[in-house]
Amino acid sequence: MMNAGRAIVEVLKAERVRAVFGIPGGHTLPIYDALYDTPEIRHILVRHEQVAANMAAAYAQLTGEPGVCCATAGPGATNLVSGIAEAFVGALPIVILAGRGPAMTSHKGASQEIAQELMFRPITKWSIRVDRADILIDILRQAFTVARSGKPGPVLVDMPRDLLVQEISFDNYRPVGKPPGSRGDPQGLRAAVAALSRAERPLLIAGGGVIAAGAYAELRQLAERLGAPVATTLAGRGSLPDDHHLAAGGLGHHRTSLTKRLLPEADVVLGLGCRFEDQETNWTPTYLPDPAACYIQVDIDPAEIGRSIVPQIGIVGDIKLVLRDMLDLLQAAAPGAAPTSAQPRLQQLARDKEQLESEARRMASPDQRPIHPLRVLREAREVFPRETSVAIDVGVLAQGMGGAYPYFKIFEPRSCIVPSSFYGMGFAASGLPVAKLVYPDRPALGFVGDGSFQMISNVLPVAAECGLPVTWCILDDHALGSIWDGQRNAFKGRFIATTFTVQPDFAQIAHACQCHGEKVENPAQIRPALERARAANARGVPAVIDFIVAKERLAGSVEFFAKR
């Protein structure tokens, strides 16, 4: 027998949870008391619960395993909402342990009492209030099952504090582990392979579902087998290395002249775990596959099939297994490498990519002040090694440039913390320290706008206290850049509430939080500052570099937002 708080921690151990993100409160103290004797589970003490949710989501994004966050009743739980919504939209598995008032005072207007399970229901796969200690362990096992299964996502387990001190039995707990994947419908698979075999201009689009399924090798094999370029969504970056000869770049907001040509000319488009959401399509025909093209959609979630674009062929299944079956069918029908007919197209792809590289080098080369943001991105890519974990926050600079190929290249799967289409400001930047928990031997680097960083700068003492040495690069244009653009384009430059006339000294804030901090205005100091940040990280010290940058925009961003 043990108290329920201790049993919860035993479940976490059995499920191989490595970290819990949260802030203790009076309603969750029995859980924390059990963590005191559990050194194999590290607790990360955040300064605001939103960061706990963001860190749990970042953990899930980097590992594929459920992140766990813990919050006390009322305001503690409500502070989680934005980060949990981000995880829900982004299909990231999280288990939320939320305390609440004693069961004996329920519905009596007790302190911090709110129907938390109802509030979280629209942004979780499952939200449950547990009022009996004897079923708590079964509920927790089910929570891990639901979070991991099918399309992953967050789960809330809401527990009264008097339940947590009750004695319960805990024996023979069997951990959930990763559920087995499901194969696609054989008829759909055969139809898809037939269409791909006939295609003259196939295009693959790798979304976050490729990352979630761990289908990187299969994606690469299929692309090489077909001689097909691969475009990626923001969530799919890293599924194919950006220096692979078939890597073609992004869509929508991240579209380049290359993908602007490849998507409409494709006669067969294979969408793998991608949703063609707002930032990828602009809901505009010129950002979509040609209506005459055969669109094949593969997704683990039946509800996603045809949600944005109705496919000619829809396949529900685990993308890794679906791609394996496609490769087997292709090999059985026609053994061998890519068709020779693909060669002229691949030669054109190589020329177009070299032109993009040349344009990127040209844009990043001037010694202008304020600094061109691309200069920061390009030099950061040269200073930080290939395996670096990267956080790309929202915004026209951090995401619009840092999230776009070829301006900042990504080479490894599960190396990126990126927002979903919920696009919470500060989400990725506040999750960045988790990269050092997951990959302690890899450097970790984040790009964030000054508006977003002001929302989550309380993460600095967390990183310093927990010994998580990462580097934040603030792309500081003294504005809420995306909204400033909207006022310029749609409201004839009637700017209001989008520029900062009082701007914090981010370097001094970093120093106050026992982090390395610098402000860089001279482009000649970009590389030395980045190297000093890496040296600080090597000593175990987090770093903040405040780069004063110009309001420059990529052509793709300008074109995208002009159509909104």
Max distance between CA atoms of the chain, in angstroms, equals: 75
Write down the residue that tokens 């994606």 correspond to: 219
Angstrom distances, CA of residue 209 to CA of 102, 199, 216, 364, 458: 40, 23, 10, 33, 32
Tokens of 69: 């966050």
Beta-sheet strand order (sheet of 389-392)? 416-417, 389-392, 444-449, 471-476, 543-548, 516-520
Indicate whether this model's pTM tops 0.85.
yes
Beta bridge partners of 315: 298
Helix axes 186-198, 319-333, angle to 10 degrees: 60
Which pLDDT score, from 0 to 100, does residue 180 have? 87
Which pLDDT score, from 0 to 100, does residue 104 have? 66
Q: Is 394 helix (H, G, I), strand (E, B) or coil?
A: coil
For 34, the enclosing helix (H) or strand (E) is helix 29-36
Which pLDDT score, from 0 to 100, does residue 106 have? 64
pLDDT one-digit tens code per residue, 470-528: 999 999 999 999 999 999 989 999 999 999 999 999 999 999 999 999 999 999 999 99
Which pLDDT score, from 0 to 100, does residue 339 have? 66
Average of per-residue pLDDT values in the chain: 94
Tokens of 391: 């956080």
On the 0-12 / 13-18 / 19+ scale of CB atoms within 10 A, 264 is middle
DSSP-derived secondary structure for 419-466: --TT--TTHHHHHTTHHHHH-TTS-EEEEEEHHHHHHHTTHHHHHHHT
Chain centroid offset of residue 33 CA? 32
Write down the residue that tokens 């010290």 correspond to: 541
Beta bridge partners of 479: 499
Beta bridge partners of 491: none
Which pLDDT score, from 0 to 100, does residue 559 have? 83
Q: Which residues of the chain have pLDDT under 70?
A: 103-112, 336-341, 563-564
DSSP-derived secondary structure for 72-94: -TTHHHHTTHHHHHHHHHTT--E
Tokens of 552: 């420059």
On the 0-12 / 13-18 / 19+ scale of CB atoms within 10 A, 343 is exposed
Which pLDDT score, from 0 to 100, does residue 468 have? 98
How far apart CA 434 and CA 42 sit, in angstroms, is 12
Tokens of 214: 């761990």
Q: Is 261 helix (H, G, I), strand (E, B) or coil?
A: helix
**Nearest alpha carbon to residue 208 among 239, 249, 248, 250:** 239
Three-class secondary structure assignment of 473-542: EEEECCECHHHHHHHHHHCCCCCCCCECCCCCCHHHHHHHCCCEEEEECCHHHHHHHHHHHHHHHHCCCC
